[in-house]
């Protein structure tokens, strides 16, 4: 998912996310001033679950998305009972690609999305992580 490019567009998307029962989301706020820094989410439909994360440019390259996703993603997958999750990242967004790989996503190849060329990623729950 290649998302909005402005803070106001990201905020509007998050407002929509809050009212959509198919989306499990978490806002990321600055601990000191409570400013909205971004959000992470999993959107589910009948076909797939998709991970997304959007942060204000002011907070890029500080490890904040990685930190938020390390806390959010495993718990969300467990809570939602997800066995497979997809994601995408623009080809030039090396930080997002590294974050997805660190979470255990596998690069499944390139596609031409509406906004820019991107890579598709897939995460499959390890079989030893499934409760018996």
What is the DSSP secondary structure assignment for residue 19, as one 8-state letter?
A: T
pLDDT band per the 50, 70, 90 thresholds, residue 129: low
Q: Say what the pTM is.
A: 0.80
What the block records as the tokens of 128 is 């030893």
Cα–Cα nearest to 62, from 106, 99, 34 = 99
Residue 1 covered by a domain: no
41-74: pLDDT as tens digits:
999 988 899 999 999 899 999 999 999 999 999 9
Of residues 16, 61, 68, the one with CA closest to residue 38: 68
In a domain, 76, yes or no: yes
Domain that holds residue 60: 7-129
* Number of domains composing the chain: 1
CATH number at residue 47: 3.40.630.30
- Measured distance CA(33)–CA(23) in Å, rounded: 26
3-state secondary structure (DSSP) of residue 31: coil
């Amino acid at each position: 998912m290649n998302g909005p490019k402005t803070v106001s567009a990201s905020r509007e998307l998050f407002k929509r996310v809050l009212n959509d029962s198919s989306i499990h989301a978490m806002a990321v706020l600055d601990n000191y001033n409570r400013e909205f820094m971004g959000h992470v989410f999993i959107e589910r439909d009948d076909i797939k679950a998709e991970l997304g994360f959007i942060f204000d440019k002011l907070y890029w390259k500080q490890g904040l998305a990685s930190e938020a996703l390390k806390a959010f993603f495993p718990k969300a997958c467990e809570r939602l009972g997800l066995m497979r999750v997809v994601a995408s990242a623009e080809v030039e967004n090396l930080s997002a690609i590294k974050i997805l790989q660190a979470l255990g996503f596998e690069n499944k190849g390139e596609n031409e999305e509406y906004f820019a060329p991107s890579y598709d990623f897939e995460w499959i729950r390890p079989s030893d992580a499934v409760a018996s």
